[in-house]
Amino acid sequence: MHITLKKRVLHLRSPLVTAHGSTTERHVIEISVQEGNFCGYGEASPLPGFGLESFQEAETALNNWAQNPEQLPTSPSALSGAATALEYLTFAKRGDSLPPASIAVQALVGASETSDVEAHVIQAIDAGYPAVKLKVAAAATGVDIERIRVAANLTNEKVLLRLDANGGWSPNEASQVLSAVADEEIDLVEEPTQDPSNWRAISTQTGIEIGADEHLSGSLQIDHILELEAAHTFVLKPSVLGGPSFTRELASRAAEHNIRVLISSFLDGPIALRAARDLALDLAPHEIHGLGTAALFVDELPEDVRPVNGRIFRQ
């Protein structure tokens, strides 16, 4: 088996501001695994501030794996990319052919200025997206309340509005902001605080459902969230969870607890987006997934991962 690694940089059209900081570009390692005439592809792209290995650590782990293919990387992003490549290699060797299909995706809005939020949400609605996810908790609570109200006024009875705090609020801040907008139509809020033990009370107080994302990175944290009954939705990012098989296992656990599953991009490049799209079609074909991120890049990604009327298509 021959493993090839290629580094690539993708540039965002405008900075994406979250509670973890501002992102302007994505450094990606594209992985190809060849065995005879068969190939499989994966991708590793850790992002600073999200509790993953650094880009350099991912690169080192993948280089070590390339020298010793029997020993998979252990760091999250590198493992996810390697496991994805190996699964698609297996598909190729078996001659598996996935049928054409499409999946609904949401638009992601991370603009910090309220006027930009308004413009970006209008653009998303006009482009046919069935849902908009607004990044929050990177500004003062008063500003966030204003940003959410502006977005909600535009999305109301048209498309779903989702919020993502990336654990950036304190319990008091989460309560203050979400109580202030509780009369708006909000589908869910992801990771309102860093401590999942707060989430159930926040949801009860505000009536807004909670999504778990970053806290799904370890078995102990997942067990804790399930014990607390803290989340109504699991937002699964295959590119940081260890790849397709780990994502399927976690989706199965979610189903056992009647928890909704959404598949999401980690501002991924085209290879990881394709893998996430295929998992979304397999695990939750009727949901609106967080896979509309190709439109955020200056670089023109391949047609099969670029949203058209709020959907991406497997051809």
Q: Which residues belong to CATH 3.20.20.120 in the chain?
A: 101-314
Instruction: Please spell the DSSP secondary structure of 217-255, one letter per residue.
Output: SSHHHHHHHHHHT--SEEEE-HHHHTSHHHHHHHHHHHH
Taking alpha carbons only, the member of 162, 127, 138, 159 closest to residue 148 is 162
Task: Tell me the C-alpha distance between 119 and 133, whole Å.
Answer: 14
Length, in residues, of the chain:
315
Q: Mind listing the pLDDT tens digit for each residue in 18-46?
A: 888 889 999 999 999 999 999 999 999 99
What is the crossing angle of helices 244-256 and 219-228, to 10°? 20
What residue ranges of the chain are covered by domains with CATH 3.30.390.10?
A: 2-94
Is-contact 84 244, C-beta < 8 A? yes
Q: Which two tokens stand for residue 175?
A: 């309560």
pLDDT value for 52 = 86
**How many other C-beta atoms are found inside a 10 Å radius of the C-beta of residue 127?**
14
The Cα 292–Cα 186 span in angstroms is: 19
Predicted pLDDT at 1: 92
Q: Are 305 and 277 contacting, i.e. CB atoms less than 8 angstroms apart?
A: yes
Compute the 3-state secondary structure of the chain and give helix, strand, coil in percent, each to the nearest 5.
40, 25, 30
- Amino acid (one-letter) located at 154: L
pTM of the predicted model, to two decimals? 0.96
pLDDT of residue 213: 96
Per-residue pLDDT for the chain (315 aa), expressed as one digit of tens each? Answer: 999 999 999 999 988 888 888 899 999 999 999 999 999 999 999 987 777 899 999 999 999 999 999 999 999 999 999 999 999 999 999 999 889 999 999 999 999 999 999 999 999 999 999 999 999 999 999 999 999 999 999 999 999 999 999 999 999 999 999 999 999 999 999 999 999 999 999 999 999 999 999 999 888 999 999 999 999 999 999 999 999 999 999 999 999 999 999 999 999 999 999 999 999 999 999 999 999 999 999 999 999 999 999 999 999
The DSSP annotation for 63-126 comes to: HHHHH-TTS---SHHHHHHHHHHHHHHHHHHHT--PPPEEEEE-EEE--SSHHHHHHHHHHHHH
Predicted pLDDT of residue 17:
86
What is 2-94's CATH number? Answer: 3.30.390.10
Rounded CA-CA distance 91/83 in Å is 12
CATH topology assigned to domain 101-314 = TIM Barrel (3.20.20)
Burial of 57 (0-12, 13-18, 19+ CB in 10 A): middle
pLDDT value of position 244: 97
